[in-house]
């Protein structure tokens, strides 16, 4: 599948999503001041706290990914030739999304229990998924 990403990229995406959600919650909360007057200040404060919690969660995700990234082995992708970091035994290239494996048991041309985008009678290709 083309839309799958490496584990590090996926976790970074969740961190970015938490930042955007937190900022959206804070902006939505400040609209309470305009709509509800003095009661809106309390609404804005509550939404500001929830937004900050989401942003702090994002900071924790980015910190965790950074710590994982420092210990991840750097390998060269056989498909695109770029250097990529790999978490676990099976991961994907950060650039071309090819399935990579250090363990020879998992190394195959199949797409690791994922539905194929090819016709049923087609021969599996060795290009990136």
pLDDT digits (tens, 9 = 90+) for 78-118: 888 889 888 888 888 888 888 888 777 766 655 445 544 54
Residues 102 and 56 both lie in one domain: no
This model's pTM is above 0.85: no
pLDDT tens across 10-51, in order?
Answer: 899 999 999 999 999 999 999 888 888 888 889 999 999 999
Residues 96 and 50 both lie in one domain: no
Q: How far apart (Å, rounded) are the C-alpha atoms in residues 57 and 21?
A: 11
Q: Which of 36, 52, 71 is the last residue of a domain?
A: 71
Q: Which domain holds residue 79?
A: 73-114+124-128
Residues 23 and 62 both lie in one domain: yes
DSSP β-bridge partners for residue 50? none
pLDDT tens across 48-78, in order?
Answer: 999 999 999 999 999 999 998 888 888 888 8
Asked whether residue 1 is domain-assigned, the answer is no
Residues 13 and 53 both lie in one domain: yes
Q: Which tokens go with 89?
A: 């035994």
Q: State the pLDDT at residue 118.
A: 47
Q: State the pLDDT at residue 32.
A: 85
pLDDT tens across 114-129, in order?
Answer: 544 544 443 444 444 4
Contact (CB, 8 A) for 47 and 29: yes
* CA distance to 63, 67, 99, per residue, from 88 (Å): 18, 14, 12
């Amino acid at each position: 599948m083309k839309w799958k990403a490496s584990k590090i990229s996926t976790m970074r995406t969740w961190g970015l999503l938490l930042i955007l959600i937190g900022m959206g919650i804070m902006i939505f909360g400040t609209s309470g001041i305009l709509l509800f007057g003095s009661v809106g200040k309390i609404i804005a404060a509550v939404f500001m706290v929830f937004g900050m919690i989401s942003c702090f969660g994002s900071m924790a995700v980015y910190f965790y990914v950074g710590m994982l990234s420092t210990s991840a082995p750097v390998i060269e992708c056989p498909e695109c030739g770029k250097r990529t970091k790999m978490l676990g035994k099976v991961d994907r290239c950060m650039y071309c999304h090819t399935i990579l494996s250090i363990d020879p048991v998992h190394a195959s041309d199949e797409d690791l229990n994922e539905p194929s985008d090819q016709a049923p009678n087609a021969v599996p290709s060795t290009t990136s998924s």
